[in-house]
Amino acid sequence: MALINENFLKLQAGYLFPEIGRRRRAFQKANPDAQIISMGIGDVTQPLAPAVVEAMKKAVEQMGLNETFKGYDDGGVGYEFLREAIRDNDYKARGVDIDIDEIFVSDGAKCDTGNLQEVFGLDNVVAVSDPVYPVYVDTNVMAGRTGGAAGQGRYEGIVYMPCTEDNDFVPEPPAEKADLIYLCFPNNPTGAVATKDQLAKWVDYARQNKAVILFDAAYEAFISGPEIPHSIYEVEGAKEVAIEFRSLSKTAGFTGVRCAFTVVPKQLKAETKDGRAVEVAPIWKRRHCTKFNGVSYITQAGAAAIYTDRGKKQIKETIAGYMANATLIRETLDKAGYTVYGGVNAPYIWLKTPDGIGSWEFFDLLLNKAHIVGTPGAGFGSAGEGYFRLTAFGRPENVREALQRIKEMS
C-alpha cells in the first residue's frame, strides 16, 4: 500500500471556524427568529472598483480577438505591465528600489506564504507570533519542519512569540536562534502595527543570526498613520534578509478574483550545509515556474487598474468605508467600557473579554445576548485567550445594528 506523508497526520483539526459554525447553527436552530450578524468574517463585502471591472471587461474582449489573444503568461511570474505598476506605486513611491525581476505575481498570499518555506531546508527553526495566521504554522507542519502537537494548539520545534498588551502585540526578537521568522503587520488578528524602529530590530536580528524574515503585508493598504512603514524594505538593510508578501484581496476586494505578489530581493541569500551562500530569488523563481503557470491575463489587467489614478481613488474610498466601521466599533466599545486594540491601521479590532472571561465564553455570551458572531482569540493561539476579534468588513448598517445591540447588552 502507498505510504501517506505522516507530517499531515500531525496537523490538529481545523477547529476554529467549524466550531464557530457549529455553535452558530445550533443557536439559530433554537432561535429561528434571531437575526444573527457576523462580525467574524475575514472576507470583504464591497464590490470591485469600477476601474477594475472596466479593465477586466476590456481584457475579456482582447482575449476574444485574434490580434490580442494571449495564452500563457510567459514564465508565469506576471506581466511586465503589472510588475512595473507594482514597482512604481508600491515601492518607488515610498523610496524603495525594487526591480521587476524581484516581483512574482501569484493567485494569493495564502499560497505564497504557505509555499515559500519549500525553498528552505527542513532543519531551519521557525518562529511565529502567538496569536498567528494559521497558514504559516500548518504549512511548516506539512513540510516536516516540526514535531508533534505540544498542547494548546502548539507544535514542538516551533518558537512561539507571545503578542500581548505588554509588548503592544509586537514581539521582540527571541532569545533563542530562529532561522525563518514570520511577521504580519498590520496584523491579523490583533490589528497591531509595527513602527520602523520595531521592524529595524527584527532586521538587525535577522542580519546577525543570518535568518530570513517572511513579512506578510496583506493589510498594508489599511495603514493611515504616516509614520508606519508599509513595506519592510523601508528599513535599511531589509532587502538582504526579508521576503515580502502582498495581496489585492483586502486591498482591492480580490478575495474572489485572486491576485497577489511576493518580493524576493536579489540580495537575499541562504546557506548550504557546507556554508556556501546562494541567492534565494532564482530558486523561488524555479519553484514558482515549475508548479504554477501564472495568473490569468484578465485578472492581471484588473489588478493593474488599481494603480491608475481612478483605481487608486476608488479603492481608497472602499478602504475608508471599512475603516469608518473600524473607528465606530472601536469608539463604541471603548465608551461601553471595553478595552480595545487595533482598528486604527487595520480592519481588525482585538478586544479584551470583560471580567477576564474566556474567549469562547465571550463568544457564547455575544451570540446569545446580542446575536453577534465574532472570532474567539484563543482560536489563533494560546496567547489569544481572553481576547476576541471583530472585523470591520461588514456592511455599515449591520455594524451599526450590531453595536447598538452590544451597547444594550452592557
Cell numbers 487608486 correspond to 312
Query: Residue 42 Cβ, how far from ligand PLP at the closest point, in Å?
Result: 6
Task: Determine how many CB atoms are found less than 10 A away from the CB of residue 92.
Answer: 13
Show the cell assigned to 29. Answer: 436552530
Query: Residue 319 Cβ, how far from ligand PLP at the closest point, in Å?
Result: 14
Using CB under 6 A, pick the residue from 133, 182, 307, 362 that binds ligand PLP.
133
SS3 state at 81: helix
**Which helix H or strand E contains 389, and what residues bound it?**
strand 387-391
Q: State which residue, 250 or 371, has the beta carbon closest to ligand PLP.
A: 250
Amino acid at 331: E
Within 287-326, the residues that bind ligand PLP by CB under 6 A are none
The residues, ordered by sequence, that sit 6+ positions from 74 with a Cβ below 8 Å of its Cβ are none
Residue with CB nearest ligand PLP?
A: 108
- The answer to whether 384 and 364 have CB atoms below 8 angstroms apart is no
Cell numbers 476574444 correspond to 64
CA 127 – CA 182 distance, rounded (Å): 6
Using CB under 6 A, pick the residue from 20, 77, 86, 109 that binds ligand PLP.
109
Q: State which residue, 249 or 353, has the beta carbon closest to ligand PLP.
A: 249
Query: Residue 189 Cβ, how far from ligand PLP at the closest point, in Å?
Result: 8
Which is it for the CA torsion 249, 253, 255, 258, positive or negative?
Answer: negative
| x/- map, 205-224, ligand PLP, by CB under 6 A | -----------x-x------
Within 169-208, the residues that bind ligand PLP by CB under 6 A are 184, 188
Size, binding site for ligand PLP by CB under 6 A: 14
CA 191 – CA 168 distance, rounded (Å): 10
Task: Determine how many CB atoms are found less than 10 A away from the CB of residue 167.
Answer: 14
Q: State which residue, 252 or 403, has the beta carbon closest to ligand PLP.
A: 252
Within 254-283, the residues that bind ligand PLP by CB under 6 A are 255, 260
Q: State which residue, 16 or 336, has the beta carbon closest to ligand PLP.
A: 16
Partners of 103 in beta bridges: 263
- Report if residue 117 touches ligand PLP, rule: CB under 6 A: no
Residues that bind ligand PLP (CB under 6 A): 42, 108-110, 133, 184, 188, 216, 218, 247, 249-250, 255, 260
